[in-house]
A = this chain, B = another copy of it.
Amino acid sequence: MNVSVKQIRAFVAVASTRSFAEAATLIHLSQPALSIAIKNLEEAVGGPLLVRSTRSLALTPEGEQFLPVAQGLIQDWDGALQDLHSQFTLKRGHLSVAAMPSFAAHQLPVVLSAYRQRYPNIGIRVQDVVAEAVVDMVRSGRVELGIAFEVDAAEDLSFTPLYPEQFVAVLPPEHPLLQYDELRWPMIAAEPFLTLQAPSMVRQLILESVAEQGIELDIEFESHQLVTIIRMVVCGLGLSVVPSLCIPQIEQQGGHWRPIGSPRVGRAVGIWQRQRYPLSSAAEAMIRVLEQEIKGKTPL
């Protein structure tokens, strides 16, 4: 007993139009072909669904009862496949990404807006967490893509660099060090230092980096919030070092900045995804947008 979708479609067409001829044109089939399709269907299900005389067409009680069921079946079938097709053509779908705060605050909005413009019906969920959490969320599959610094991660993840992020020093207006076009670490170490708090990878990278040079920073204050740090710098409480991504924010808050000379401190920023796990069409599209919007437009 094997019944095809076409057969059910044929039955629904005939039952709806109450005519083989009409139904045949409706489903783009010749009358005889339709006749045989129905005949085979009836054979398969074990009894007649329609009673045809040349002048009238009626449904058997079984057919009458089956008609709405068949209609539902076809509707569900087409609906499900339509949905699936929509996902591939990006006319529908869903995407979860995680991004580290500096990226989420500065670059991501323009990326999202470009993506939304191209694929208006893809729902996007963004998680704004520290870089290490980004990697964890990708690993556990809670998000499909992550954007964060490159770190040492297990083999199960892959990293695609987007651009090399460099750190810059933040200074208050009229600070003496502003006379230099580029600062060096010893100059910075001479001043009180403000930095982000513990889970931040920015903090970690800076401390590791200066420690390699035998320089020690005089950490005066820590905060989770970049805004707070910048505000304090502007108020003259000390200096800080932040990703160049944050330059717009520094300037907006009335701060000044200078690049840091060799050794430059920085880390590649890029896309994290699971190894050997295929991406959704929506995620692949996001990677394309990211590369197009970000690559070559690196700050500094």
List the interface of chain A (C-beta within 8 A of B): 1, 3-5, 44-48, 51, 53, 56, 58, 60-62, 65-66, 69-70, 72-73, 76-77, 80-81, 83-85, 87-89, 144, 276-281, 283
Contact = CB atoms under 8 A, between A and B. Distances in A.
Contacts of A65: 87
Contacts of A85: 1, 45-46
B1 A4 contact: no
A61 B3 contact: no
A87 B47 contact: yes
A43 to B, nearest CB: 11
From A58, A69, A89, name the one whose CB has the most chain B CB atoms within 10 angstroms.
A69
A48 B278 contact: yes
Given A4-B4, A45-B81, A46-B89, 18 more contacts: A1-B85, A4-B5, A45-B84, A45-B88, A46-B84, A46-B85, A51-B278, A56-B276, A58-B277, A58-B278, A61-B279, A62-B87, A62-B88, A66-B84, A70-B80, A72-B76, A76-B76, A77-B77
Contacts of A62: 84, 87-88, 280-281
Contact of A144 (B46, B61, B69, B76): B61
Contacts of A72: 76
A276 B57 CA distance: 10
A88 B46 contact: yes
Nearest to A281: B47
A272 B150 CA distance: 84
Contacts of A280: 60-62
Contacts of A4: 4-5
Contacts of A48: 278
Contacts of A144: 61
A278 B64 CA distance: 11
A284 to B, nearest CB: 10
A278 B278 CA distance: 55
A49 to B, nearest CB: 8
Most buried by B among A48, A70, A278: A278
A114 B52 CA distance: 33
A147 to B, nearest CB: 18
